[in-house]
Amino acid sequence: MTDISIRKTGRAGRVTLSRPEALNALTHDMCLAIDAALREWAADTDVAMLIIDAEGEKAFCAGGDIAEMYASGLRGDYEYGRRFWRDEYRMNARLFQFPKPVASFMQGFTMGGGVGVSCHGSHRIVAESSRIAMPECGIGLVPDVGGSLLLAQAPGRLGEYLGLTGARMGPGDAIHAGFADCYIPEADWPALIEVLERTGEWTMIDRSCVTPPESRLAALQPEIDATFGGETLLDVVNALDHHDSAFATETLKMLERNCPLSMGATLEMVHRLRGPGGDIRRALETEYRFSARAMEHGDFLEGIRAAIIDKDKSPKWSDDLRGLKPPRVTQMLQPLGKDGLTFGEDAK
């Protein structure tokens, strides 16, 4: 497969995303290929660790390839998207639970589905160009691929802020928020990867980390905590309305662009997953409740149309920012029964 290179090199299992012209967007087949490699390498004694990287300068992975998903949804065929999400989420869970060290090297944009491939391992490496985000609320989806769990584990109310706004994190921000562990200048990556491949000695990563740039989000933490602590989307909006600052004004502009239903559900998901009850499978199962309904009962198709197909940046959302009714969120996050996401080895 030309879109992805999967091989063993020395002591390492290697995954390289190789669609730089498409910002390494994940296809369904790429997800299946990664999942198959994880199954094989988990028990392979020759593989001491896993290394994930990507070709190109602009992006590690800018998200999932949703063109076919959109086309099938317009035809009224919602099963293709559900199958894609099921297989992707199972791969995300397997990566999170992989029994060996996993090092990911995230240059440029790492968004959405790219977070699911890179931010669940043991050694998550960023550099000068790294820009990480969960922007799904802008297209009528919710932060998924296990991203809701990362948001729930972020300090203070940072998870609510990042999930609802889709704000991009620089390298220092990503480390502060818990999406990355280690800052290593990109010029040092090739030599480090060569050593890791040859030796499988993952402790070399820790020895190569240097002080990251300062986090802008850390400085904003008091304002974020003061405005994103509400139970509902309306609570957050009201807090921002009454918070007289440049931060509040800019943040409201960001929320006004995004899908109210997605933001309301994201807020509820982060609240449910915060604390000891949150784990990767519960996060993915909850995310799937929304994504499985997103085309038929949500705003996903309209979000994709406005952002990617027509590119008019003027989506007509089903709900108003200040008028989202709680039953709408409840409907999107209620259990799917026999159609819910499962994680059995042979579950397809």
- Beta pairing class for 4-9 and 12-17: antiparallel
Residue 275: which region, alpha, beta or left (left: phi > 0; alpha: psi -120 to 50)?
left
* 3-class state of residue 181 by DSSP: coil
Neighbour tally for 53: CB within 10 Å: 22
- Catalytic, 302? Answer no
- Catalytic, 147? Answer no
Check 53, 88, 144, 299 and give the catalytic one: 144
Establish how many alpha carbons lie within 13 A of residue 288's alpha carbon, considering only the half-sphere containing its beta carbon: 28
Check 53, 65, 136, 268 and give the catalytic one: 136
Q: Which of 117, 106, 252 is nearest to 170 (CA)?
A: 106
d(CA 147, CA 151): 6
Per-residue tokens: 249: 């004004």
For the chain, how many residues are written? Answer: 348
Q: Would you state the torsion angle of the CA atoms of residues 210, 213, 219, 220, taken in this order, to the nearest 10 degrees? A: -120
Query: In the chain, how many H helices and how many E strands?
Result: 16, 9
- Catalytic, 197? Answer no
Phi, psi of 242 (to 5 degrees): -100, 5
Decide if 184 contacts 164 (C-beta within 8 A): no
Q: Would you state the torsion angle of the CA atoms of residues 293, 253, 163, 116, taken in this order, to the nearest 10 degrees? A: 80
- Catalytic, 56? Answer no
Check 13, 73, 81, 113 and give the catalytic one: 113
C-alpha of 309 from chain center: 22
- The continuous run of DSSP H or E covering 14 comes out as strand 12-17
Query: Where do we find the tokens 């060569």?
Result: 194
Check 13, 63, 64, 264 and give the catalytic one: 64
Q: Which residues are catalytic?
A: 64, 113, 136, 144
